[in-house]
Chains A and B, each alone.
Chain A
């Protein structure tokens, strides 16, 4: 019940396309859902996060869509660029508990 399932494992999109990465969880106590971005040779870094009181959050070209009833959330990248090529991790947590449960990661490649 502590797992976060992420798909797809890898994704290739042409520049300007809209890659979508999906995550699903079981634990209804989760109330914080961040996405981390990791470039080769670097540690993951927080990209964007959402709480379940909203269904969507946008920051620049990155959007999280959240479906509380389905226990699913997804990351969309608008007008994708080759510089967005990275590994993306979704995660979930409970407020007050520092521990994050990470998905397996999606390796995204944006072709020029």
Chain B
């Protein structure tokens, strides 16, 4: 299995631009998580989906952030407009139902907003 796939791996953009991060979960996993990691705040859960349905988006920082999961094999996290404080590493993770909560993380997308 290829594991969780994220793209792009690195993104540099200017303040005010739209940014879209992409994630392909492991085949057969039915839960998907988006996290943000910074030195100051550690690993924060932004949103998670179960069977493509958003279950908890309480970690989404503000309306500039949105996430979608149109099917079981693809999810996006969009930031519009981006701000310098959004600079972080964004991770996607997936979990197979009944697997006792082991989440498999992707390699992350390092986002820099200038």
Which residues on the B side are within 8 Å of A93 (C-beta)?
Answer: 101
Q: How far is the CB of A57 from chain B (nearest CB, A)?
A: 14
Tally A residues with Cβ within 8 Å of B. Answer: 19
A13 interface residue per 8 A CB criterion: no
B102 with A46: CB separation less than 8 A:
yes
A104 with B101: CB separation less than 8 A:
no
Tell me which of A95, A99, A102 has the highest count of chain B C-beta atoms within 10 A of its own C-beta.
Answer: A99
B18 interface residue per 8 A CB criterion: no
Known contacts A44-B43, A89-B43, A98 near B105 by CB under 8 Å? no
A61 interface residue per 8 A CB criterion: no
A43 interface residue per 8 A CB criterion: yes
Tally B residues with Cβ within 8 Å of A. Answer: 22
B34 interface residue per 8 A CB criterion: no
Bound-complex Cα distance A21 to B108 (A): 25
A99 with B48: CB separation less than 8 A:
yes
Q: How far is the CB of B28 from chain A (nearest CB, A)?
A: 15
Residue of A nearest to B100 (CB): A32
Instruction: List residues of A whose CB falls within 8 A of some B CB.
Output: 32, 34, 41-46, 49, 89, 93, 95, 98-100, 102-105
Contact sample, A vs B, 26 pairs, CB 8 Å cutoff? A32-B101, A34-B102, A42-B107, A43-B4, A43-B93, A43-B105, A44-B91, A45-B104, A46-B103, A49-B100, A49-B102, A89-B42, A93-B101, A95-B100, A98-B31, A98-B33, A98-B50, A98-B55, A98-B95, A98-B101, A99-B33, A99-B48, A100-B103, A102-B45, A103-B42, A104-B42
